[in-house]
Structure 1
Amino acid sequence: MYSNRSQQQRRIDSINLGPASPTESQVQETQYKYIPLMTKAIQDQLDPKWQECKIQGKNLTPRSNCAIAIHSNFLYLYGGYQYSLGILQDFYKLNMTAESFYWQNIKCEYEPGPRCCHSLCAYKNNLYLFGGQIADSICTNEIFVHDVNHQIWKKIEINESYPQPLDNYCATVYNDQLILFGGFYCADICKHSNDLYSYSFNLNHWIKLNKSKEKQPSPRDGSSIAIHNSNLYMFGGKNGDLRYNDLWSFDLSTQEWNFIPINNLYDIPMSRSGHSLIVYQNQLVLFGGIHDVTWELDDLHIFRINQQEWKSINQDTSRRKELELPSPTKYNKSPQKQRRSVKLPSLQKPLSLRKSPNSSPKKIRPSSQSQYSYFSKNQNLPQNSNQKNNNSSINTSVNHVQERKQLEKLKKKAAMLKLFEVEINKRALFQDDCNVTEKLKTSIILIGNPKQDLKLTKGTLTEFGQQIISKFLLPLSNGQNTINGKKPCARDGHAVAIFDNQMILFGGDRHTMSFNDLYLLNLLLI
């Protein structure tokens, strides 16, 4: 049966329905509501404990799994891995007490060659480089010594006491010995290690410390160790598809392992590998690492040795949902209570296989499936009328949620685009301090519009008409060679060292993207 309404009336009704997308007035109504929120997010990223070093001249190639060491006032760096270039073999030093930071390339006639996942330590006037990967799935147990005064490399003769070729282990210096733990045995063995070795610099001799097969950590690589008094502390690491967050101590006098139990499970850091662990005064300092596939961390924790307890200094922000901008729509005027999920850290967490320098295909996690996949899987099953009505209501609610999400995306996009219309004297509040961003921005402005009289808006010279030079390219003044308050982003595979009351952090990677930034952590402020 046909309706009696005229075709013209039906056309008017269809026009009054309007589109589901937001109108121009709705977008303009919320354009500026995100600006204070963005400003607050930028201010929250400032951390007085951290400083980023401004590198003058040519910076290093971004890399991870390199090795650094402090000798006198110089920071030495060797090798590393870069996704597009492979294993590197360059050698640099940087004066930490200079007014300006310059990387100086050290050229020697004889060099160890490509190396990553190795160790570099200083003893007297020499630097010792041990093990690591020299090619894909090929590692070594060679030791090279670099004479700092004469700038020459020398290979030490291998004897029967040497361990098998090893990479991705952790190492530290204790008195006149190099102590290393774990790693991955290459060559014909191809297994993870839980061996603890000490190397005498004076005797060129290795000793296996954990001779007993009783209580000891499980085999792993990518862990980290630090020594306080006569006790060695080891945290984390991975073994195939498992990552750990257990803490062990090894008494160097009795040569026994002891597991350190933690009473409050909520204070234990998440399981991880590729992190850093150092000792400062009576506490361990833990930073970063990778917790799961594509989940690198930027959290900071300390372990109070005397109290035998963990304390969180900075929580991980790489996936923190609280940083997401809230919706400014009128529907959300009364904020609802957010459900907070409490996650207990586990000592073992399943993960992907051992991380290698070569790229590996991403694995799909079961949790990545849609929450509505149940209905698509059972769509062929017989259903009664009530079930069909329930499914139709669910589909309607899903469509409504999707429309709301699309609406929020459009509003966020409009608000971000509105930032380009902020006055010049206020744009500094929203600018990123990233070195690369500033340089790209300066290049585009100077190349695309170098003249100052090409573009005027309301009598004011706009940014595209100014001769702008990046603040990172300007000469340093008053010895200001650091950016105060800027902290490193989430990463693993970084290298750390201690200089005075500061922890030096260099490089690392995140999602196969390597870094070449250099940071200082003031240990007096933690």
Structure 2
Amino acid sequence: MYSKRSQSYRNNDSLKLYPISPSDSQPQETEYKYLPLITRVSQEQLDPKWQECKIEGKNLLPRSNSAITILNNYLYLYGGYQYAIGIMKDFYKLNLNGQTYVWQKIKCDYEPGPHCRHSMCSFEDNIYLFGGQVADSISTNEIFIHDVKQQQWKKIEVNKTYPAPIDSHCATLLEDQWIIFGGFYGGNQCKHSNDLYSYKFNENNWIKLNKQKGMEPAPRDGSSITSYNKSVFIFAGKNGDMRYNDLWQFDILKLEWTFISINSFNNIPMSRSGHSLITYQNKLVVFGGIHDITWELDDLHSFNLDIQEWKTINFDTSRRQELELPSPLKTNRNQPRQRKTKKLPILLRPMSLRKSPCPSPKKQIRSGSFSQYSSYSNGHNNFVSSDQSQYQSNQNNQNNSTVHTTLNNVQERKRWEQQKKKIAMLKLFEVENREIMNFEDDCNVAEKLKTSIILIGNPKQDLKLRKGILTEFGSQIVSKFLLPITGGQNTINGKKPCARDGHAVAVFNDFMILFGGDRHTMSFNDLYQLNLNQF
């Protein structure tokens, strides 16, 4: 069923095919049934704000819950998790200013070991790694430091100020402090956290910031945090099966939490966890996450800190059944149709309901009934027509004659029964046009495959397009509806990431860098850039 909101999306997402003249546009849209399907696919895949980075050489293994950071124009990545492999311990870097994007594996004599659901940051000329899971249900509170120039890892000594072993927390830099929030305490505690800690790099000392009790966020993991102007902001997260969409601010100078009330409730993002949150100028930017079991998101939102208002940049399209244009081969099923009772074929009916293969005699009508053989009936008198009297006499004669049935009649009857069986079996394969709609596949992938086959292999001229204009069959045709716009040598402009959670993000100049994540336990190893200037 299509909602009113999704109907407005479809009206706004319509894509013109640039006809030769306005008078020619209407015949093209009505005559050629495949045009709406093609324009929908083109509209879905192109988004000028996004760029996919093309990786040269061997790509990384797909993973989620890894950590990335940027130092000296290099993107550093450590660890992660994949369902088929488990927790990873590899360490890579990638030159963001290079002509091509190539992952370079960094080999060190000493390594932190397997880590996922951890945090990583860069400060001065070093990279820091904290917390996370090191094995199934086993967390750590250790900090490792990597010297980029010497390419060496070193474990920092843990002291009493350290928080308990924790994973699934969120972290951000604020000047010379590394601030973490929430997460899940492992070990003997086994509980969600709403603690806010600050780490001093030069002092190797943790300070708990939210010591005062009062209004504060509920304990959670899978949240996200970012910093802006002497404050940190956290958004959403989950506590068990309960997910949030609340926004909080913590003032570092006042050391107090403030719940941000929203001026307009129109564009508040859905509750989620495993998403990303960054700061750009005076805006908070939220992407992706998971809203419910098997419902990952690909929506994009921004929050203006000056006017305290959310704005939806891209709506979620992961549940495309509600938002997509109906296929030309489908009907717009606004309400589920009730199934009509179907008349079973002869062979599938119980023996008591099967009709005789021979022409059946007409049954005698009971008194008080009304049929084509009775002229009038009521509760007291019955007037039977002459046709019925003739019918009764015929029935008696037939009963007497069945005893003297010849062999030829038996063989004829068998042939007639076999013929009816064939007819009944053929009827099993007959499906009415209106019933075919019930068996059509609503899967968007199937529709895209169907469109690809049509564009590539169908020779009909009404299915061939060139520059949005119908062309004659026989001319050279190149269809680019299913292909994104190619940008530079190392990027594909217009291609946006699919729905996911557990991805890692970082800010590089005016771009948000996004890597990996997963959807339905299927991990990704793709790399994207979001142009933050195009909001």
In the superposition, the TM-score normalised over structure 2's length comes to: 0.69
Q: Using the alignment, how far apart are the partners of 1:183 and 1:59 within structure 2?
A: 30
Would the alpha carbon gap of residues 171 and 36 (structure 1) be closer, same or farther in structure 2, given more than 3 Å must change?
A: same
Q: CA shift at 1:76, angstroms?
A: 0.3
- For 1:490, give the aligned amino acid: A
Q: Using the alignment, how far apart are the partners of 1:219 and 1:407 within structure 2?
A: 45
Tell me which residue corresponds to 1:235: 235
- Per-residue deviation, residues 163-204 of structure 1 (Å, max 9, x unmatched): 000000000111111100000000110000000000000000
Tell me which residue corresponds to 1:203: 203
Would the alpha carbon gap of residues 44 and 243 (structure 1) be closer, same or farther in structure 2, given more than 3 Å must change?
A: same
Tell me which residue corresponds to 1:89: 89
Q: Using the alignment, how far apart are the partners of 1:254 and 1:215 within structure 2?
A: 14
Q: CA shift at 1:126, angstroms?
A: 0.5
- For 2:143, give the aligned amino acid: I
Tell me which residue corresponds to 2:480: 429
Q: Using the alignment, how far apart are the partners of 1:425 and 1:178 within structure 2?
A: 59
- For 1:282, give the aligned amino acid: N
> Does the CA contact (< 8 Å) of 1:66 and 1:117 recur in 2?
yes
Q: CA shift at 1:406, angstroms?
A: 2.6
Q: Using the alignment, how far apart are the partners of 2:450 and 2:133 within structure 1?
A: 49
- For 1:200, give the aligned amino acid: K
Structure 1 residues 347-362: aligned runs within 5 Å: none
Q: CA shift at 1:427, angstroms?
A: 5.2
- For 1:151, give the aligned amino acid: Q
- For 1:300, give the aligned amino acid: L
Q: Using the alignment, how far apart are the partners of 1:150 and 1:98 within structure 2?
A: 22
Tell me which residue corresponds to 2:178: 178
> Does the CA contact (< 8 Å) of 1:172 and 1:225 recur in 2?
yes
Report how many residues are paired: 397
- For 1:406, give the aligned amino acid: F
SS in 1 for 2:109: coil
Would the alpha carbon gap of residues 39 and 68 (structure 1) be closer, same or farther in structure 2, given more than 3 Å must change?
A: same
- For 1:83, give the aligned amino acid: Y
Residue of 501, 509, 512 corresponding to 1:503? 512
Structure 1 residues 305-344: aligned runs within 5 Å: 305-321=305-321, 323-328=323-328
Q: Using the alignment, how far apart are the partners of 2:247 and 2:530 within structure 1?
A: 23
Tell me which residue corresponds to 2:113: 113
- Per-residue deviation, residues 355-407 of structure 1 (Å, max 9, x unmatched): xxxxxxxxxxxxxxx9999xxxxxxxxxxxxxxxxxxxxxxxxx997543236
Would the alpha carbon gap of residues 315 and 149 (structure 1) be closer, same or farther in structure 2, given more than 3 Å must change?
A: same
Tell me which residue corresponds to 2:277: 277
Q: Using the alignment, how far apart are the partners of 1:431 and 1:302 within structure 2?
A: 29
Percentage of pairs with the same residue: 61
Structure 1 residues 280-299: aligned runs within 5 Å: 280-299=280-299
Q: Using the alignment, how far apart are the partners of 1:82 and 1:425 within structure 2?
A: 45
Residue of 503, 524, 530 corresponding to 1:515? 524
Tell me which residue corresponds to 2:437: 404
Tell me which residue corresponds to 2:52: 52
SS in 2 for 1:43: helix
Would the alpha carbon gap of residues 371 and 308 (structure 1) be closer, same or farther in structure 2, given more than 3 Å must change?
A: farther
Q: CA shift at 1:45, angstroms?
A: 2.2
Tell me which residue corresponds to 2:364: none
Q: Using the alignment, how far apart are the partners of 2:271 and 2:166 within structure 1?
A: 23
Q: CA shift at 1:140, angstroms?
A: 0.2
> Does the CA contact (< 8 Å) of 2:38 and 2:451 recur in 1?
no
Tell me which residue corresponds to 2:493: 484
Would the alpha carbon gap of residues 124 and 292 (structure 1) be closer, same or farther in structure 2, given more than 3 Å must change?
A: same
Tell me which residue corresponds to 1:378: none
Structure 1 residues 363-512: aligned runs within 5 Å: 402-406=435-439, 417-422=453-458, 425-426=476-477, 428-431=479-482, 480-512=489-521
Would the alpha carbon gap of residues 431 and 59 (structure 1) be closer, same or farther in structure 2, given more than 3 Å must change?
A: same
Q: CA shift at 1:326, angstroms?
A: 2.4
- Per-residue deviation, residues 113-156 of structure 1 (Å, max 9, x unmatched): 00000011000010000000000000100000000110000000
SS in 1 for 2:37: helix
> Does the CA contact (< 8 Å) of 1:41 and 1:323 recur in 2?
no
Would the alpha carbon gap of residues 33 and 164 (structure 1) be closer, same or farther in structure 2, given more than 3 Å must change?
A: same
> Does the CA contact (< 8 Å) of 2:455 and 2:479 recur in 1?
no
Tell me which residue corresponds to 1:381: none
> Does the CA contact (< 8 Å) of 2:145 and 2:154 recur in 1?
yes
Q: Using the alignment, how far apart are the partners of 1:66 and 1:133 within structure 2?
A: 11
Q: Using the alignment, how far apart are the partners of 2:451 and 2:192 within structure 1?
A: 51
- Per-residue deviation, residues 59-97 of structure 1 (Å, max 9, x unmatched): 000000000000011000000001111000000000101
Would the alpha carbon gap of residues 107 and 427 (structure 1) be closer, same or farther in structure 2, given more than 3 Å must change?
A: same
Would the alpha carbon gap of residues 191 and 51 (structure 1) be closer, same or farther in structure 2, given more than 3 Å must change?
A: same
Would the alpha carbon gap of residues 179 and 137 (structure 1) be closer, same or farther in structure 2, given more than 3 Å must change?
A: same
In the superposition, the TM-score normalised over structure 1's length comes to: 0.70
Would the alpha carbon gap of residues 176 and 505 (structure 1) be closer, same or farther in structure 2, given more than 3 Å must change?
A: same
Tell me which residue corresponds to 2:472: none
Would the alpha carbon gap of residues 416 and 126 (structure 1) be closer, same or farther in structure 2, given more than 3 Å must change?
A: closer
Q: Using the alignment, how far apart are the partners of 2:114 and 2:314 within structure 1?
A: 36
> Does the CA contact (< 8 Å) of 1:34 and 1:325 recur in 2?
no
Q: CA shift at 1:265, angstroms?
A: 2.1
Would the alpha carbon gap of residues 225 and 403 (structure 1) be closer, same or farther in structure 2, given more than 3 Å must change?
A: same
Tell me which residue corresponds to 2:11: none
SS in 2 for 1:429: coil
- For 1:499, give the aligned amino acid: F
Tell me which residue corresponds to 1:21: none
SS in 2 for 1:41: helix
- For 1:226, give the aligned amino acid: T
